[in-house]
A and B are shown apart, each in its own frame.
Chain A
Amino acid sequence: MADKNGFFDLSKTTLSRRTALKGIAAGAGLALAPGFVRYSQAQSSAPIRIGFQSHRTGIGAAYGRWYEKTSAAAVKAINDAGGISGRKVELVIEDDGTDPARGAEVVNKFAKQHKTDIVFGTLFSHVVIGSAPAAGENKIPYFVVSEGHHVASTKLNRYVFQPGITDVKSQIQSMAPWIAANAGKKVTQIFPDFAFGYDHRDYLPPALKAQGADVIAQIAIPPTESSFTKYFPQIPAETEVIYHVMVGPAVLTFVKELGEFYGSQRPQLFGFIDSLEAVDINSPGLEFLDGSHFWEGSPRYAQPDDSAAQKAYRAAVGIDDNGAAVGDPKDVSTAAHMFGCWETLYVVKKAMEDAGYKGPEDRAKLVEATEALKEFAEGPEHPQGPKTFNGKIHQCFGIQNISKVEGGKLKVVHKTKIEDGLYEPEGDYTKQAL
């Protein structure tokens, strides 16, 4: 038939010499092009690029802003001291919209488009849980500052780490003795109806039980709720302590309505500062919190016994003694969590240097080097306090602060010990394939 030119003749599709030469020339040209030169140098002096998944918009936006400020300050401090293995560090920031689906897209974008060395970031537990599979698929290390128990539960994957902030299970376990001894034995829990809230729902009752106290009611509130009075009749009258964790912008309403409901005859209040991060404790309506207690990861207000490292950290990030931005007392920080960004970046530095990390081909080595870490001493790199690290569950353990609202400030009244928060590992990431 009419296959004169031999288009369909498979025997003729071998490379001619001319085609081969053309291909080689084009390849060489590409390699000599400016972009390629930089890439070939990447292993020696080009910056280490850290993809920062940030809550720029959505309900986590206040956290995102301060996470960015803290991370920028840490990167500056690391670079001023010579960078990581002599290479500068560079943050590449993408907005995850505080949304799990977008979170996963952002991780993919870092891995495939920006080709960052690692991904670092975010707070909200549902975003971390939604993004973790993408990190595993791309085999890109994903360092989170999220506080939830999801990393330590070993339900995520080998590429996800939480070395800079403790997890909720550990926090609850170390504070339960104080709650039972000082606040009361009959506890009603109010928590947001999603992953982070469920950590509290699941781990508080056993932790209190061990101290001879009981959770007598659990009230889940949808995270988008804007009015709370309707839930208060569910609080049993014999409640001695209301344990509240309310993440989201509606917390002021929550406190105010609680105040209107109870007046001065209120039960004890114990809360997680998460609700009041970036909110001035002296806002109108919050008078009701006077005398109540809060968990704080790192204290918002400067304390009399602050270490030199803590003072230096606060100055570097740019927060004053009240935990607000220097020069703008109304711009209150998320001090109880954002220290985790600072500490995580120093953990990344340590692990990269231990691994002799050169580029994305060394990501597996970086995972193993991180897993090999055991403890972080208190100091300029870890201003919140000393920590231990369990490489099997990719989670650090540290001290917790319990603070009392007193005279319009938060005063630390109790610090837990690292041992108080240790628990049996629920699994072992190191058994997963890399």
Chain B
Amino acid sequence: MHFGPHLLLAALEGLVTSAVLALTALGLSLVFGVMRVVNVAHGEFFMLGAVLAWAVSTAISGHPAVGFVAALVIAPLLVGLVALVAERLVLRRLNYNPEGTIVATIGMLYIIQQLALTFYGPEARPVEPPFSYRILLPWFGYSGYKLSVVAASAVLLVITWLVLTRTRIGLIMRATQYDRETAQAFGIPVERVYAGVFAVGAMLAAIAAVLIVPISQAHYLMGQDPLLLSFIVVIIGGLGSLRGTVVAAILIGLSDGIISMFFSPTLAKIIATLVVAMVLVFRPQGLFGATSR
């Protein structure tokens, strides 16, 4: 294949990775930004979203699009509910202590993963895409659904940004993030905000999973890679910075697509990890993160 089409294919693949990564990492970043909780179980909420999407779409017969749309609504809601329960039962009782919550979320990771293995099983199961249109380019074919994932993710990112910057809920969240105690003094129900943010963070991961599941089936171990990549993105972009997360996701996704296509996937991972190390050494707050006060 010639250089031009090759690069185009690499860029398309990278964009799809970026789109899903941006949503997943945004959830992680939101939870850390507002609650100062490093959620190690974030990848498992992603997995849970995919597994529930499979369950919902197989329970509903008829055109695959109907099942998919139902999954896109129901799966994230259920995942949000699970996150809410986890927040109430575990994180709140630990007083959101940073060290304690890391250990607790590691525990949640294993519990969710093993429950999925027990009740869903070890198989990788496919979900039918809502439509399967193959875009025919002169050099190769490409999945129309993949491109629609990029579009859907962009729309969701814009909505999240609008909610955070233009609504009262967003204002309350930002106030809590800025200074928890002052926010509480002004009558903001900080604990309810925390619960909500934790649920929304998990739901963002679940939505990303529902979008990706028609491309790469549901499997109980699928949460590991997104978790690692999300951490990379969040560290590079700056914990708690929405803009940084999106920029870093695009950067990591595209470089992963292009480097792994022209060189090797291992090299892409090496470079991503190296960038993380460099950022931590020279700009610990991330590219767009504010220095801590």
Measured CB to CB, the residues of A under 8 A from B are: 57-59, 61-62, 64-65, 222, 224-227, 229-233, 237, 249-253, 256-257, 260-263, 278-279, 283-285
- The closest CB in chain B to the CB of A263 belongs to B141
- The closest CB in chain A to the CB of B144 belongs to A260
Question: Do A230 and B260 form a contact, CB below 8 Å, given A249-B217, A263-B134?
Answer: yes
User: Residue among A232, A249, A251, A263 with the most chain B CB within 10 A?
Assistant: A249
- The closest CB in chain A to the CB of B225 belongs to A226
Q: Is the interface of B mostly helix, strand, loop or mixed?
A: mixed
Residues on A with C-beta less than 8 A from B129 are 284
Q: Flag if B124 contacts A250 (CB, 8 Å).
A: yes
Chain A min CB distance to B243 (Å): 26
Residues on A with C-beta less than 8 A from B126 are 252, 283-285
Of the candidates A61, A230, A257, which one forms a contact with B117 in the assembled complex, judged by CB atoms under 8 Å apart?
A: A61
Instruction: Give the CA-CA distance A283 to B217 in the complex, in Å.
Output: 11
As a 0/1 sequence over residues 117 to 158 of chain B, the CB contacts with chain A under 8 angstroms (1 = contact) are: 100011110111100001010001111000000000000000
Q: Flag if B265 contacts A225 (CB, 8 Å).
A: yes
Instruction: Give the CA-CA distance A150 to B29 in the complex, in Å.
Output: 46
Instruction: Give the CA-CA distance A227 to B20 in the complex, in Å.
Output: 13
Instruction: Give the CA-CA distance A249 to B124 in the complex, in Å.
Output: 5
Residues on B with C-beta less than 8 A from A283 are 126
- The closest CB in chain B to the CB of A57 belongs to B117
Of the candidates B13, B122, B136, B225, which one forms a contact with A263 in the assembled complex, judged by CB atoms under 8 Å apart?
A: B136
Residues on A with C-beta less than 8 A from B121 are 61-62, 65
User: Residue among B13, B142, B219, B257 with the most chain A CB within 10 A?
Assistant: B219
Asked if B184 lies at the interface with its beta carbon under 8 angstroms from chain A, I say no
Asked if B165 lies at the interface with its beta carbon under 8 angstroms from chain A, I say no
Instruction: Give the CA-CA distance A250 to B117 in the complex, in Å.
Output: 17
Q: Flag if A64 contacts B122 (CB, 8 Å).
A: yes
Question: Do A227 and B216 form a contact, CB below 8 Å, given A61-B117, A249-B221, A283-B126?
Answer: yes
Asked if B261 lies at the interface with its beta carbon under 8 angstroms from chain A, I say yes
Q: Flag if B141 contacts A227 (CB, 8 Å).
A: no
Question: Do A233 and B1 form a contact, CB below 8 Å, given A249-B221, A253-B216?
Answer: yes
Instruction: Give the CA-CA distance A356 to B259 in the complex, in Å.
Output: 61
Of the candidates B16, B117, B134, which one forms a contact with A260 in the assembled complex, judged by CB atoms under 8 Å apart?
A: B134
Instruction: Give the CA-CA distance A250 to B215 in the complex, in Å.
Output: 10
- The closest CB in chain B to the CB of A257 belongs to B143
- The closest CB in chain A to the CB of B142 belongs to A260
Show 5 A/B contacts (Cβ-Cβ < 8 Å), sorted by A: A57-B117, A227-B17, A227-B215, A230-B10, A263-B141
3 A-B pairs with the lowest CB-CB distances in the bound complex, closest first: A61-B122, A249-B124, A284-B128
Residues on A with C-beta less than 8 A from B9 are 229-230, 233
Instruction: Give the CA-CA distance A283 to B216 in the complex, in Å.
Output: 13
Asked if B109 lies at the interface with its beta carbon under 8 angstroms from chain A, I say no
Instruction: Give the CA-CA distance A51 to B43 in the complex, in Å.
Output: 34
Q: Flag if A65 contacts B122 (CB, 8 Å).
A: yes
Instruction: Give the CA-CA distance A260 to B143 in the complex, in Å.
Output: 6
Q: Flag if A233 contacts B6 (CB, 8 Å).
A: yes
Residues on A with C-beta less than 8 A from B140 are 232-233, 261
Q: Flag if A59 contacts B128 (CB, 8 Å).
A: no
Which B204-233 residues sit within 8 Å CB-CB of chain A?
A: 215-217, 219-222, 225
Residues on A with C-beta less than 8 A from B114 are 57
Residues on B with C-beta less than 8 A from A256 are 215
Q: Flag if B225 contacts A224 (CB, 8 Å).
A: yes
Chain B min CB distance to A281 (Å): 12
Q: Flag if B13 contacts A227 (CB, 8 Å).
A: yes
Residues on B with C-beta less than 8 A from A233 are 1, 6, 9, 140, 261
Q: Flag if A226 contacts B222 (CB, 8 Å).
A: yes
Question: Do A222 and B266 form a contact, CB below 8 Å, given A65-B122, A262-B141?
Answer: yes
Q: Flag if B122 contacts A62 (CB, 8 Å).
A: yes
Residues on A with C-beta less than 8 A from B10 are 230
Residues on B with C-beta less than 8 A from A278 are 123
